[in-house]
A and B are shown apart, each in its own frame.
Chain A
């Protein structure tokens, strides 16, 4: 068996971290699929990037701001329009623990 880069436990942890629920088929297949993809990423080890700057944006733009002038908000019906669970103009969810 190929040396798995990512274990089932890690897959479960990632699912939890990202709020996803996995079906059994995914729990079975993801470790292998992820490992294959991560193996492909190994190619990046070939280059030395120690002195290379990271690119996170390609526009070269800086200092893009809006003046502090308020504009109209959405009417409340529009804001709530697509919510499945509402109460009294609030969005409603099952009680959550404090942050």
Chain B
């Protein structure tokens, strides 16, 4: 078993069978990072010492026969999650020397499950971005093709898993920041239901939109991680008291008769021909699996991007107000260009005289977008759309005008506005560049997303492709 191609499932099996130890595996990933990261720039911080120490402990526990769901499994963490004692920057100069004194709830849960933290991955600063080009610590490359963006804002997380520098990585998705990079890097990217996973200890971007998820090679791995990270958290008042099922249990079940909706608004002009082609191939796979494909209507889709870019910067402007350099970090002169733009745009939408026309209006249209999905899910079980309107683009291609870049999010922001879960699945390559489709479901329907995703994955096996 080549260590590069290992999934979490493989690793757990391998550790059990003693094919390798956690220390060996961790050392392998650290060596890979040493070798490849300079070209890809997926990591901001690599935790060499800490990771090997954790791996050593894991091996001891494994030896004793201790059972923990992720014992000895190395993972990468997006640098927006606070990690106690380990520098956390959100890829911004403002926090370039910030060492948290507490762990994010998700980090604590992963550690409790026995996971090893390899390092903190690069991202668009403050999660402001769709390409990975906004980092104060350098651009991240798409491992599939140099010179191309890996997608953002979870750029480093996507790149490191795609380049086999880690079997999986955590991410956040506020307007597509997990799903888009997953689609650009041939990965499974999960944006859970809003509130399914705790936001405590994760640097807030847009509080009513931020969803906490992860990028993996396979659907099974994604389900496994959600088993660990999901659940009500006392310290996050927006996590409902809904049980966490075993998300891996339904994967093998057939999806015959499953009703999948195709919203016509996602298949109109503005969608790259090649992306449309790959999406249609994916639709055929679902048909072959026995699903019923239905055309549906999400009439308020065209307003979604405007609604998103009013609400998100408004919440950003407030969430970034605490960075005044007094209690931690550097002062506000260290904010980058995109951050300043969003903070000011947000303040504008909230300021008196404009509040009604922008912020209130956006909140009202948000209701309509949410209702669109509720109505659609009365007719279908899941919704399928392309994740990105374009193929992965070149570095520098969309950085001339901010709006150009914002348009990358047109298919992904709707799920955040409605608070519903979305799963990106690889849908094949075009000229060596990955594409992805997303499945959307009702709130707390992740198990159905995984089930459909797994069946599709078994038929397509895109995750097995190597460069």
B residues within 8 A CB of A11?
344
Q: Among the listed A37, A49, A81, which residue makes an inter-chain contact with B402, where contact means beta carbons less than 8 Å apart?
A: A37
Q: How large is the interface on A (under 10, 10 to 19, 20 to 34, 35 or more residues)?
A: 35 or more
A53 to B361, CA, bound (A): 10
> Is A1 an interface position by the 8 A CB rule?
no
Q: In the assembly, what is the distance between CA of A49 and CA of B368, in Å?
A: 9
Q: Is A95 an interface residue (CB 8 A)?
A: no
With A18-B317, A58-B208 as contacts: A83 and B327 at CB distance below 8 Å: yes
Interface flag for A21 (CB, 8 Å): yes
Contact of B240 among A26, A59, A85 (CB under 8 A): A59
Bits for A25-39, please: 1 = Cβ < 8 Å to B, else 0: 010001001101100
Please determine whether B403 and A37 come into contact, CB atoms closer than 8 angstroms.
Answer: yes
* Alpha-carbon distance A58/B240, docked complex (angstroms): 11
* B429 in the interface (beta carbon within 8 A): no
**Contact of A6 (CB < 8 Å), options: B101, B348, B401:** B348
- With A21-B333, A52-B364 as contacts: A43 and B303 at CB distance below 8 Å: yes
Contact A61 B363 (CB under 8 A): no
Which residues of the other chain, A, contact B347 by a CB distance below 8 angstroms?
Answer: 14, 17-18
Do B101 and A37 have beta carbons less than 8 Å apart? no
The reply to whether A15 and B344 contact each other, CB–CB distance below 8 Å, is yes
Given A57-B238, A58-B419, CB of A37 within 8 Å of CB of B367: no
Residue A41 is within 8 A (CB to CB) of chain B in the complex: yes
Question: Which B residues are in CB contact (< 8 Å) with A81?
Answer: 99, 101, 328
Given A61-B238, A64-B237, also A49-B344 (CB < 8 A): no
Q: B324-357: which have CB < 8 Å to A?
A: 324-330, 332-333, 335, 337, 340-341, 343-345, 347-348, 351
Contacts of B343 in A (CB 8 A): 18, 20
| B204 is an interface residue with CB less than 8 A from chain A | no
Could you list 16 A-B pairs, sorted by A, with CB under 8 Å?
A: A19-B332, A20-B332, A33-B402, A37-B402, A41-B309, A44-B362, A47-B303, A53-B364, A54-B367, A55-B363, A58-B418, A59-B195, A64-B238, A82-B101, A83-B328, A84-B330
